[in-house]
Amino acid sequence: MQRIEIYDTTLRDGAQGEGVNFSLDDKVLIARRLDEVGVDFIEGGYPLSNPKDAEFFQRIAAEPLANSQVCAFGMTRRRGMTPAEDPGMKSLMDSQAPVITIVGKTSAFHVEEVLRVSEQENIDMIAETIAYFVGEGRRVIYDAEHCFDGLKLNEEYGLKTLKAAADAGAMRIVMCDTNGGTMPEEIARYVNLVAGAVDKPVGIHTHNDCELAVANSLAGVDAGATHVQGTINGFGERCGNADLISVMANLALKKQGYEVLGGAQTDHLTELSRYVYEIANMGYRTSQPFVGASAFAHKGGMHVHAVNRVAHSYEHIPPESVGNERRVLVSELSGRSNILAMATKLNLQEDKELMDRILREVVELENQGYQFEAAEASFALLVQRIAGTFAPHFELVKYHASTESRGGSPLTEATVKLLVDDEVQHRVAEGDGPINALDGALRKALKGRFPALQQMQLVDYKVRVINSEAATAASVRVIIESRDADGETWGTVGVNENIIQASWDALVDSFEYKLAKESRAAGG
């Protein structure tokens, strides 16, 4: 078994992707999850480029990762100064990252036309920068930019730069196909050449401009690379980086003789992929290889018939091996098991007729745009409503939310009129926005009767437009995450053409879930 190192750059190269924008907290959450999964290296960012990345490294230094090594990214020192004088080097030292990833130029063309220094000066910049960090006790990974284009243009000079990096003490020499234009056979030829020419392990870093990033990563590994760089879900500039989800699945499950994640199971890959989409607030790609919702979906009667008899004959791997599931004709089979699981969790006896009604309802709601993966509380309430075991703690008479601006900062006010134990509660609140105001008014109307609500707070609020063709008239899915004093968190969902109504539905579910929990606690 050849162990292949996985180097994740979702937080740096991935953040370059159009529409990808991570907050500091987003970055820390993703790093912790990658650490759990057991990725070897996590590139946290480019501390010189912005304060957010610099702060990320302080957060990690304060609470180090358990399994992964965090890497700080930077460039070779500027021309005409020593590394110690370069502010970029200082920001990398300040990051306290145990591993420093230095990118340098391999292509004589870029050295002259872009960097505008002599070929020798470029080599000195690479060697001195790496030697500086090695001298400071850091481990250094060298990313060779435009490596394949450079070797094609001037093989002798390209190899010189790679050897200089290796001799200066870099622990890995990573060959980057920066423009993503290299064909698999060229990747294989040059990786093979370099693996024989330098005395350090070689890595491969590819981009998807020719829809070959995954194939190129595998070609690099077959040619001798033992280190693969990429991003979760293939996030990245232009057409993205190599999708580590597909790379890891192919190496661990499809090809022979390779091991990733220290042999850990790959059945976390679907969860990992979706977690990163959620943090980035991006929709899943249903057709995504291995982990997409459609990756193991079967269509067409004869097909399904055969699938049920000899599933593996229509699936290249068992869906469970990547934590995904088979879907046959809508969500019927998958839906059924979820519902059974949920119903059992709710101590509803297995009533086939009830299960069928729930299933029909779920399918109907999913068609409307509901998603219960991140809204189990709403799902639990739905099951109870259908089962007839749901007793609402309050009834809506009406709500009203209005926002007005005369040019300055807007004023928002919401009123809520409820029936609580046949008593009318009519309250008003202001807020930073209509949802915040409705939340405030709802709490005012309920806190007298249900003081426990004060222990609960909303911790996340996500909005996604579902069929965006219709623009502002499109239907909207709101997911609210709430947390209780005891640390329990739950998600609720609302879908409506009207964002206020969708938010209201998710709010009410969140309050009802908390109140039902109190009743149970009270033995009610």
Residues 184-223, interacting with its own copies (CB under 8 A): 184-185, 208-212, 214-215, 218-219, 222
- Pick the piece of the chain touching its own copies (CB under 8 A) from 2-10, 34-42, 77-85, 295-303: 295-303
- Using CA atoms of 105, 108, 111, 114 in order, give the dihedral in degrees to the nearest 10: -100
Q: Give the separation between CA 276 and CA 84, rounded to whole angstroms.
A: 37
User: For its own copies, which is the closer residue by CB, 134 or 330?
Assistant: 330
Tell me the closest approach of the beta carbon of residue 422 to its own copies, in angstroms.
16
- Judged by CB under 8 A, which of 374, 420, 452, 453 binds its own copies? 374
| Residue 119 near its own copies by CB under 8 A | no
Instruction: Rank residues 21 and 344 by Cβ distance to its own copies and give the closer one.
Output: 21
Is position 422 an interface residue for its own copies (rule: CB under 8 A)? no
Stretch that binds its own copies, among 119-127, 298-306, 341-349, 422-430 (CB under 8 A): 298-306
- Kindly tell me which of 57 and 198 has the beta carbon lying closer to its own copies: 57
Q: Exactly one of 114, 391, 424, 521 binds its own copies (CB under 8 A); which one?
A: 114
Phi, psi (5° rounding) for residue 20? -90, 125
**What residues contact 457, with CB distance under 8 A and at least 6 apart?**
482, 483
* Stretch 73-92 residues interacting with its own copies (CB under 8 A): none
Among residues 347, 405, 486, 520, which is the contact residue for its own copies, using CB under 8 A?
405
Tokens (6 digits) for 430:
């202001």
C-beta of 69 vs 91, nearer to its own copies: 91
C-alpha distances out from residue 249 to 129, 218, 252, 285, 346, Å: 35, 11, 5, 17, 35
**Residue 392 sits in the site that holds its own copies (CB under 8 A):** no
Q: State which of residues 4, 8, 17, 86 lies at the interface with its own copies (CB under 8 A).
A: 17
Closer to its own copies at the Cβ: 42 or 291? 291
Length of the chain: 524
| Strands 457-465 and 476-483, bridge-based pairing | antiparallel
Stretch of residues binding its own copies (CB under 8 A), selected from 193-201, 258-266, 286-294, 381-389: 286-294
Which of 257, 388, 407, 487 binds its own copies (CB under 8 A)? It is 407
Binding residue count for its own copies, defined by CB under 8 A: 123
Pick from 89, 86, 7: nearest CA to 44: 7
With vertex at residue 286, the alpha carbon angle to CA 469 and CA 367, rounded to the nearest 5 degrees, is 60
What three-state secondary structure class fits 1?
coil
Which of 265, 286, 389, 454 touches its own copies by CB under 8 A?
286
Count how many Cα atoms sit within 13 Å of the Cα of residue 92 in the half-sphere of its side chain: 32
Among 41, 284, 290, 394, binds its own copies (CB under 8 A): 290
Q: How far is Cα 183 from Cα 213, in angstroms, rounded to an integer?
A: 9
* Residues sharing a CB contact under 8 Å with residue 265, sequence separation 6 or more, in sequence order: none
In order of 377, 448, 495, 505, 511, the CA distances from 483 in angstroms are 12, 20, 21, 17, 11
> Does 439 interact with its own copies (rule: CB under 8 A)?
yes
Local structure of 331: helix, strand or coil: coil
Q: Which of 109, 152, 189, 318 binds its own copies (CB under 8 A)?
A: 109
Chain positions 321 to 350 lying near its own copies, rule: CB under 8 A, are 329, 331-333
Structure tokens at 424: 């009318």
The minimum distance between CB 182 and its own copies, in angstroms, equals: 8
Q: What is the 3-state secondary structure (H, E, C) of 409-478?
A: CCEEEEEEEEEECCEEEEEEEEECCHHHHHHHHHHHHHHCCCHHHHHCEEEEEEEEECCHHHHHHCCEEE
Phi, psi of 321, rounded to the nearest 5 degrees? -65, -20
CB nearer to its own copies: give 347 or 405.
405
> In the complex with its own copies, which residue's Cβ is closer, 51 or 523?
51
Amino acid identity of residue 239, one-letter, is C
Closest to its own copies by CB, 459 or 521: 459
Closest CB to its own copies among residues 346, 363: 363
Segment interacting with its own copies (CB under 8 A) among 80-88, 105-113, 422-430, 514-522: 105-113
Instruction: Specify the stretch interacting with its own copies by CB under 8 A; choose among 78-86, 173-181, 352-360, 377-385.
Output: 173-181
Applying the rule CB under 8 A, the residues between 474 and 493 that interact with its own copies are 474, 476, 480
Q: CB under 8 A: which stretch of 46-54, 90-98, 193-201, 515-523 binds its own copies?
A: 46-54
> Are the beta carbons of 268 and 287 closer than 8 angstroms?
no
Which of 180, 203, 230, 323 binds its own copies (CB under 8 A)? It is 180
- Is 405 exposed, middle or buried (CB count within 10 Å of its CB: 0-12, 13-18, 19+)? exposed
496 binds its own copies (CB under 8 A): yes
Quote the least distance from Cβ 209 to its own copies, whole Å.
5
Question: To the nearest whole angstrom, how small is the minimum distance from the Cβ of residue 74 to its own copies?
Answer: 12
Question: In terms of CB distance, is 400 or 449 closer to its own copies?
Answer: 400
- Which among 30-38, 81-89, 223-231, 403-411 is the span making contact with its own copies, rule CB under 8 A? 403-411
The closest of 75, 19, 7, 78 to 47, measured between CA atoms, is 75
Write the single-letter amino acid at 367: N
Cβ 202 to its own copies shortest distance, Å: 20
